[in-house]
């Protein structure tokens, strides 16, 4: 088997899973210091070029499978918190186009040069989105496939279900782990700049009749009632009655 390049540092991960005719995903592990699951998603364009979302350096067996799926052409760094393996991918695939949302561009460029914040995939089935309400710091991806539509999110939603020990307790306190998908507390505090804009976007996604699943960077895929999950997440962003009165200058 071909030896990986010296800069290609492989951390624990599972096998690539095919979710649809043009969609792969794989789960890896980070220890920061608790074990944090992380996800890479791969969308194949109609011309067999690949869009990599939140890259993970894979072992050579899985890389052979990936390259058999198509040619890595675009690498989305969905925020400046997800740039760990971006440089390694750029060194391994020099012609790959690095993409980041505008608000994270400066942070990503500390690791790897960003080519664009508005990619042209030339494929209506794969859509890059800079998520409204996040200060342009978070990216998402919509992938239309033969069996439905997949929404790929980054840190906006946590859905870790198998947490344990002190690390699991910390993930639950932060809101990345729990009994149901949720917008993590740390994300609400540090990332969301306009709750109403984000709420509107979640509701817009919930209207996609073909939505089959939601993939998140940290946690299990959401395949049961994904549209209702988005509506419930939007409801958590609604302003309280007191906040609404304050917003229009009404006091009790």
pLDDT in tens, 29-42: 988 766 788 999 99
Give the torsion sign (CA, 219, 224, 227, 230): negative
CATH of the domain at 183: 3.60.15.10
Give the model confidence (pLDDT) of 158-206 as tens digits.
Answer: 887 766 565 565 666 666 766 789 898 888 888 999 999 999 999 999 9
Residue with tokens 């302003």: 239
Considering its fold, how many domains does the chain have in total?
1
- What is the Cα–Cα distance from 51 to 115, expressed in whole angstroms? 14
Structural domain contains residue 145: yes
Range of the domain at 219: 17-238
Structural domain contains residue 127: yes
Structural domain contains residue 67: yes
Q: Are 77 and 86 in contact (CB under 8 A)?
A: yes
pLDDT score recorded for residue 247: 43
Burial of 127 (0-12, 13-18, 19+ CB in 10 A): middle
What percent of the chain is predicted at pLDDT more than 70? 85
- What is the Cα–Cα distance from 162 to 51, expressed in whole angstroms? 29
Structural domain contains residue 47: yes
Structural domain contains residue 1: no
Structural domain contains residue 156: yes
Structural domain contains residue 24: yes
Peptide bond just before 138 cis, omega within 30 deg: no
Structural domain contains residue 251: no
Give the model confidence (pLDDT) of 48-92 as tens digits.
Answer: 999 999 999 999 999 999 999 999 999 999 999 999 999 999 999
pLDDT score recorded for residue 6: 67
């Amino acid at each position: 088997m071909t030896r990986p390049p010296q800069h290609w540092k492989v951390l624990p991960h599972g096998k690539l899973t095919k979710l649809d005719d043009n969609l792969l995903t794989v789960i890896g592990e980070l220890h920061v210091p608790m074990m944090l699951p992380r996800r890479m998603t791969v969308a194949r364009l109609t011309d067999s070029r690949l869009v990599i979302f939140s890259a993970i350096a894979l072992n050579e067996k899985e890389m052979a499978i990936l390259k058999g799926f198509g040619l890595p052409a675009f690498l989305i760094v969905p925020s400046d918190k997800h740039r760990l393996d971006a440089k390694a991918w750029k060194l391994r695939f020099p012609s790959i186009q690095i993409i980041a949302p505008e608000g994270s561009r400066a942070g990503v460029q500390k690791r790897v040069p960003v080519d664009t914040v508005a990619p042209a995939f030339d494929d209506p089935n794969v859509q890059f989105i800079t998520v409204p309400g996040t200060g342009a710091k978070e990216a998402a991806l919509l992938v239309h496939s033969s069996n439905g539509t997949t929404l790929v999110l980054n840190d906006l939603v946590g859905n870790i279900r198998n947490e344990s020990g002190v690390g699991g307790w910390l993930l639950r306190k932060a809101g990345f782990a729990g009994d149901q998908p949720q917008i993590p507390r740390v994300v609400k505090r540090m990332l969301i700049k306009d709750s109403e804009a984000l709420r509107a976007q979640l509701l817009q996604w919930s209207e996609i009749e073909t939505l089959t699943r939601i993939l998140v960077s940290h946690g299990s895929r959401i395949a049961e009632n994904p549209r209702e999950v988005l509506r419930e997440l939007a409801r958590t962003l609604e302003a309280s009655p007191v906040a609404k009165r304050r917003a229009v200058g009404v006091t009790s």
